[in-house]
Amino acid sequence: MRQLELDWLGGPAERRMRRRRPGIDDLPWGTLAAAGIAEADAAPVRASWTDGAFSEYASAAAFAALTTALLEAGAPVDLIAMAGDFVVDEMVHVELNARICAELGGAAPYLVDLEKVSPWVDPALPAIERAAELALQISCVGEALSVPVLAGSMRAARHPLTRAVLRRIVRDEGPHARLGWLVLDWAGDRIDRARLAGVARTRIGHYAPLWRCPDCAEGATMIRAVRRDIVAPLAARGITVRVDDLLGS
């Protein structure tokens, strides 16, 4: 484990990224730094944007792993391209989070092992099963639940720069949450639905702190999102997940 450090190359790599995802430099950069936030107030905010930078980085690794599984499974060309394109979206989100940290005085202490950043999936499974499992975990569950969390943060954001950054991130996350359903529909009845139901249940359980903490302002919203945006569409595809105990109801 070592401190999270992000590097930037510039030159042709930067120019290509900007051409593919324009508008990033137009955000009101410098205004948060200029606001001169006191160190005591900046510390918790830096911690949360540092955590954000790493979770976006992990999302990029996850979409890269999904892209590889889709390639190995011989998935449709445009579906594979969509998954690969989301890696670039997530790297833009990493940049946005990191630049907010920089405005606040730099990243908070944050230990990571990048060697283990990719999601683990049993390499003995056929590629289509690995693709379905990754799509379910990353997109159908992870991205579906990050949409309401980010939207809540965006509404709470007071500063124009943080609000603009969160708006940009939220805009991208909707399509990220839809990809998983496209993968499951393409895989059709070639995947083991009972196994995937277990995967989904475990994954939803990881997010329980979002609705179980005593001061979860968005708890009811999260529970609704689990039922409406994850459990119901999974059931419609023959993947039946029992979550009443996880949701505390």
Binding site for Fe ion (CB under 5 A): 56, 59, 90, 93, 173, 176
Q: Which is nearer to Fe ion, 176 or 201 (CB)?
A: 176
Q: Which is nearer to Fe ion, 169 or 239 (CB)?
A: 169
Min dist. Cβ of residue 173 to Fe ion (A): 5
Within 10 angstroms of residue 132's Cβ, the number of other Cβ atoms is: 32
- Contact, 205 vs 246, CB < 8 A? yes
Question: Is the dihedral angle over the CA atoms 146, 236, 63, 12 positive or is it negative?
Answer: negative
Q: How far apart are CA 56 and CA 51, in angstroms?
A: 9
Smallest separation, CB 55 to Fe ion (Å): 8
| Residue 143 Cβ vs Fe ion, minimum distance, rounded to whole Å | 5
Q: In this complex, which beta carbon is closest to Fe ion, that of residue 46 or of residue 176?
A: 176
φ, ψ of residue 104 to 5 degrees: the values are -95, 5
Closest to 159 measured CA to CA, from 30, 47, 32 = 32
Closest CA to 68 of 8, 21, 24, 133: 133
Task: Find tokens 């790493």 and name the residue.
Answer: 54
Residues 6+ apart with CB under 8 A from 96: 24, 27, 165, 168, 169
Residue 207 in contact with residue 147, Cβ under 8 Å?
Answer: no
- The distance of closest approach from Cβ of residue 135 to Fe ion in the complex, given in angstroms and rounded to an integer, is 13
Between residues 96 and 132, which has the closer beta carbon with respect to Fe ion?
Answer: 96
Least distance (Å) from Fe ion to the CB of residue 7? 19
Q: Which is nearer to Fe ion, 176 or 203 (CB)?
A: 176
Minimum distance from CB of 86 to Fe ion (Å)? Answer: 6
Please identify, using beta-carbon distances, which residue of 129 and 173 lies nearer to Fe ion.
173
Compute the half-sphere exposure of residue 105: CA atoms within 13 Å on the CB side of its CA: 15
CA distance 247 to 249: 6
**Closer CB to Fe ion, residue 56 or residue 133?**
56
Give the residue among 66, 70, 121 at the shortest CA–CA distance from 90.
66
CB of 194 to Fe ion, least distance (A): 28
